[in-house]
Structure 1
């Protein structure tokens, strides 16, 4: 039926209905309708009261039966999601219920327009029409493709299965790597800290100017029992300790260190106590928004200026403990003009990213740059009295990996800045996640003991001011001395103590297990000078109990000062061990001897004392394993027998190398007690331990937690074994851990690769159709790789080495793997977008036709001003206003949804009228893909903006119209609004101008796409916000192209064949 005929019938129907009105409804229907109207009005009023009236007001008037206001927002959102995803689920159900291809109804459908048009006319009544062959001319007209274009599409479909297989494999391997990072780690071995009285957080009154400037922040002091009452009376008599929470952290996280310090002061019956202050940052997402860092630093500065006034001592020193970004805030204090650097001389940081993980905006990059520049310049001048200890959580911390907490890379050679993982700290020996590190009892006790040892009653501030003493204290509690560099001679010769006799062991190892209250004894071991290091392990260690005999009868001895290495064992205190390296060289009288005599004096003790002394092979005979040898299948198997100590060198040259050590114990072994230790040389201490339990197989992963630095020796695997047992040690490649290491250290670079691939997907819109794009992808990657290789080899022009810890061949291989993975992801994502456009085209078109028809009828009744106003970018202006008053991402999201609706509308129009070519549908999808990418890149500012919104709806409405300052997504929201506005208009035909510049502009767009893709790969893999900057540049250039095409009468993006025709 023609449109004119339909219009005439509709007009006739309307005129007839006006002449003959419908009868009035019955009284029952009128009553029901009026009742439903009143009920809807009452429900709307109740809903508005539920939303806008604060809960405390409703409770005062007795309305306490309404649910939480949280559901007033969640329920409508869930309904919207249900409405949005119902067609999607319906489509999948229809596909699932579709009959098989062998059924005749699938071949011929009476509702198919094409089949009806080409159906044979002489079909018998009741018979099945024969299958019709659609002419090629009809297929060309429907798809808008020529014969050559059909051949191109056929060749593309040929490689579609290969793309899907590669994409599935790449995504599967990446998913396995993420699983290894997020789940494949040791169980949580940390114990919980408990308090014995109810915790209280007493607010501290700040100056009115501070409260007015920082109304969302606060300062509290932690107390329990009587201490809380003293704080409420404003009595502060201890040493101040300030806890600074991190990203989304709470001031209540200071409870653990506060409670432990309080209990330790009570147990020691010491008059000196500690007052633990903690800061409330309103749980701001400081790791996701650089604008918070400066304001939080300013507030901490105000707190440090206010805390000494509580004690009446203007120069009172404060110990700082910072968690996560809080440790970075502590370092940023020293940059502030009004900060007295002598106020703080000791800083403990817990899982603090001293090196950036992902720079999400320019403010964060500037904050990091200023801090690193000041601390590197002032480390030996203004900061010469500062001791800082950085703790990393190890493999369990999936938010801040260990190498980001390493200070040795920032302050090379400076011993006052210590860095270590919690797995290497004596008496801790456990990996912690990002939150557990705050309350881990073992670590909290170690920190509290170090703080107590820094007390000095002789100083005015009550704390040790000598930097060497504080550094020695930190090393005592957090650093294990190297086992082969930890002994010296006392310098004075002595005679042995009055002992009954000395038992000599002329050969073989010395293994002793004393009984309780056994009398004191002395044991001497004669060691051949041709052996290597001497391994000594004991559960009891005291000063000067090991001596070097000056003669064969030990009539004179030289006591040895040994600082043992403490390792975990099957007891609370662990065990101590050391390696005496070349002990006969420490005294002139024994240097020429071919053997030495070591004397061990065991005291009388109420506990059982175990002692094991065993010569080890020379360093040249220590076995060594290589990752590449294991990878190539070379068997790495060792069987240490009758030995208490076994070690081997592990050649892990690159950060992604990972091995498994499988220790199998013989069946005859009844008491399998042993321990494995994996040590990595360097200033950053990242030792890991594994207790060998009573089982047949023990697996211990060997992988680095930080990239190896130039000059570091190979890592070392040490096994502490039971000499009565037989062990079988096998080394294999840990494939899952290899994928996990790649994901852990390099997954942050995937957004840059994803963005570069999306940009390269725009090339077909401006290139000759049918051209292979493989060479373009290779060219962009080669250019970016050469630039990064140049940066790696020339430090004076280098930025951040994105593949640090990997060799050049490995970096090239991972680069190619990452690009292929993201290419597969983008292809699958683009296919999903096409499916969503096809799925939602009908409902969106149905809604839009009714909405547009009403607008057209309104426009016909008014003057011509709406048509004149339509030439202005009202859509872009509305997006800009929304972005300004709320958040830039809100405007981007609105623009994306409207453009998605426009693409769906055009898709449905193309099905109905056959007026839109396939190339135009593909072009709209690629622009939609770019818009989705920009939307995903700017999700972080929206999370920050949403987190700032209060829970009450009145405050929510007020805060909703106060955006971020500065807003990283505001500028790009304006660009996206303008570009998508022009993109929705580009199909209209205006004056035929600028057509002779089309070829030149297409070439310019190709060059811009090349440049943006290469720049994204080079500069945006660590500087995350640069992706948005480069995408904004590309969008602005594309907007110029859309403007050009709006004012041209040619169809957009026609092929060269169509141009010639």
Structure 2
């Protein structure tokens, strides 16, 4: 009988987790990506690989073309810039279409001399994110393809010496892995662009080969940042909230690639994109495709019509397009102190108001607006927002004594930045007076050309002490105490009066991803105004330690709402005491309105962030809870304590044997010891890896209460799991009464299937370990169902309940191991579907040995089902299981690839003593029989 309180708590907790999963899957903006269109039929021409076809029978290489261009490619005599697209996990070679098609259209422009040839590899849609055994093979194949591609340009006027690599998802890791090959010529690649690639670590590290591959690649790039990869420039874009597979923090290149050779940005923050892309959308989103192609065309050397060998040229182009586009066409050679000559015949308009707005349907004549920078009125900053399209649109100068104009000025256009929405051409300049050479006669000059339609200018001169505000974000304790008021009425409130075009709110203390809020900016009153479509207000959440800004635009007089949550934690070594280091909520407002800002706690966003960042820890904690349950059952059996499952279900046993205070104090002490200087050095000397807490701390998402919270969460989740599984199987076993009429001989024949299934499970492990796990899991399920059927027929005994209480937690653990090994099983199944080779062993199978150990252990336990263990034996088993629980919580929280091995050790730790006891009982029985 289930206890009502634990059941109620577990239902609530599982519902909360479900709400978090729902938030991850649904709580993001609508897809703002535009489609890329085709004007001609796409063609993927396969390239003959000769002997490589035998070595890589399932891999292929294509070149992309359309219409007449595709027909020109058939002889493979090429004269362009080679680009190789590398698809990722389960990716199709047809994903190259968007980049290839847009590039072809852009090269048809009469002023464009260069053109790109797009190649793409086909990996047969392998699951490289779940099975690392294919990564080395994919890397070697791409290496061969690069050599093949460069051979097509031998007759070109200016043959390329390198190939541009574009990688989606795991394809980006393959691109960087090329440099680790011993025979790879690093000069073959100098430019890499990756889309939604998890560079930092695997999304779900369920495979030891995947983990080793990542470790090898990232360590190589760290060690050779000043040597063999110094000439390589690399761009990494992450999709933001919509990408529920790869969060932005994993796609950043921080700590892997040298800062002056890498650009990392969220698509939500990239100028003239401002969209969140899901994992697949990253390859076809028109805004991102156009940005990528503009950047690629800008790194072409005009003399050679190949990618420039100058790394500084490439970095300037990538930083301009992906980080800080200021609208200047000559950004490569631009002088920030450029002097602009002003036309003395053009009309000057003097505007000395602190805040003013200018709007006209069309400019018929050029004019200059001059704005005095008056220090005496306590103004120290100015923001100017406009939709002017001329590159040089703003500058500053000193008016000569007694005059109201100047003949030359110093440009400020390079400091301007664009704002959404996409086609508004809205840009702004925000500058502090201290950043320029200020005198009493200094003026800002806005240059308005003639013939431009619908010109809007907003200027606001202000005191930063009044507009740059600091709000101390409430901590967890304050949030809980003030809940639900903080989630309804708001945790902060700010009233903004008319005439203010800009406010900045510094969110002090916002450091963990689970600190989530929602900012609401509500217009409280707006002047009657005939607003245009792009006229309104903009919110910008700026995270200074990463390029993960997010923007929200709303029309004139409408409410704005933006989620205040992080996509990566604040680095531990970040100087958070400086105002500039805190996250900023920047508000670009309409001066004809006054507003009210409300900052409310976003409960559902918090749950979603918890699932997004910490969901990967659940399997490890679930195994730890089940391990403690198994320990409690075995120790109780050694003492002769067997409780009827009618009186105490496995769920109730879990509540009794897996209490948090049985293990968490030990974990706390061990966490301290392994970081203690001498102990840490000793562990390193013996090759003991860092615990997973160190990895989480490196990601800036670790906090002291995390282990306890995760354990409590998984303890109650395991209770619900055990409750549901046990009662579901009880119903299924009860239906077995329908077959009660079967003859005993037939029942014995069916029961003998255990032997067949056992042999099949053990032998299957040699072909694919995951297959063996599924078979032995099925064997355990049938055994538990059989025992529950006996209980339902009231033919049970104390021995029946002993077996059932022992097999049930082992069944749950083996089922979890089978789920963690799904990757190799899918790869094996795909190989069988293609080759029909049922008995061909899977290469580099990480699940083989753990599955074999578990299978042998379960089979031994099932055949020794009548054996019992002594009190001393059960005590030893209990201590082994306790130690494995601690090791799991230290070294398999995040490193899921270790869990199958730990589960196999737990199963063997139980089964071997039972098997030994069974053998001794058999030998003693034979001895007594002979006597």
TM norm structure 2: 0.86
Partner of 2:12: 169
Aligned residues: 859
TM-superposed deviation, 1:477: 0.9
CA contact (8 A) 2:658 2:715 kept: no
Partner of 1:340: 185
**1:461-860 superposed matches below 5 A:** 462-480=306-324, 496-529=342-375, 530-540=378-388, 541-543=390-392, 545-552=394-401, 553=403, 554-555=405-406, 557-570=408-421, 572-583=423-434, 586-587=436-437, 590=438, 593=440, 596-619=442-465, 622-628=468-474, 631=479, 632=482, 633=486, 634-651=491-508, 652-666=510-524, 668-669=526-527, 670=529, 671=531, 673-682=536-545, 684-693=546-555, 696-709=558-571, 710-711=574-575, 713-768=581-636, 769=641, 773=656, 777-788=660-671, 798=690, 800=692, 801=694, 803-804=696-697, 811-841=703-733, 853=745
Q: Residue 298 of structure 2: which of 453, 473, 485 is its match? A: 453
CA contact (8 A) 2:320 2:326 kept: no
Partner of 1:204: 47
TM-superposed deviation, 1:226: 0.8
Q: SS in structure 1 opposite 2:445?
A: strand
Q: Please, which runs of 5 or more residues in structure 1 have no aligned partner?
A: 1-156, 860-865, 990-994, 1051-1061
Distance 1:645 1:288, change over 3 A: same
TM-superposed deviation, 1:696: 4.3
TM-superposed deviation, 1:343: 1.2
Distance 1:602 1:330 in 2: 47
TM-superposed deviation, 1:451: 0.8
RMSD of aligned alpha carbons: 3.2
TM-superposed deviation, 1:439: 0.1
Distance 1:849 1:804 in 2: 61
Partner of 1:981: 859
TM-superposed deviation, 1:368: 0.6
Cα deviations by residue, 1:480-522 (Å, 9 ceiling, x for unpaired): 2799xx9999668777421355332334234322452422222
Distance 2:111 2:338 in 1: 39
- The higher radius of gyration belongs to 1
Distance 2:336 2:846 in 1: 63
Distance 2:858 2:336 in 1: 80
Distance 2:912 2:47 in 1: 57
Distance 1:567 1:782 in 2: 53
Distance 1:216 1:476, change over 3 A: same
TM-superposed deviation, 1:791: 6.8
Distance 2:765 2:336 in 1: 73
Distance 1:571 1:827 in 2: 50
TM-superposed deviation, 1:788: 4.5
TM norm structure 1: 0.76
Partner of 2:813: 930
Distance 1:639 1:435 in 2: 41
Distance 2:410 2:387 in 1: 20
CA contact (8 A) 1:245 1:322 kept: yes
Q: SS in structure 2 opposite 1:1047?
A: helix
Cα deviations by residue, 1:889-909 (Å, 9 ceiling, x for unpaired): 222222222233233333444
TM-superposed deviation, 1:804: 4.2
Q: Please, which runs of 5 or more residues in structure 2 have no aligned partner?
A: 644-652, 685-689, 923-931
Distance 2:587 2:273 in 1: 19
Q: SS in structure 1 opposite 2:903?
A: helix
Distance 1:727 1:913, change over 3 A: closer
TM-superposed deviation, 1:720: 1.4
Distance 1:877 1:173 in 2: 43
Partner of 1:1004: 876
Partner of 1:946: 829
Distance 1:168 1:837, change over 3 A: closer
TM-superposed deviation, 1:431: 0.3
Matched, 1:915 2:915: no
TM-superposed deviation, 1:1044: 2.9
Distance 2:737 2:138 in 1: 50
TM-superposed deviation, 1:608: 2.9
CA contact (8 A) 1:507 1:526 kept: no
Distance 1:354 1:491, change over 3 A: closer
TM-superposed deviation, 1:566: 3.3
Partner of 1:406: 252
Distance 2:700 2:84 in 1: 43
TM-superposed deviation, 1:287: 0.5
Distance 1:515 1:936 in 2: 64
Matched, 1:880 2:729: no
Deviates more, 1:906-915 or 1:977-986: 906-915
Q: SS in structure 1 opposite 2:244?
A: coil
CA contact (8 A) 1:489 1:561 kept: no
Distance 1:422 1:274, change over 3 A: same
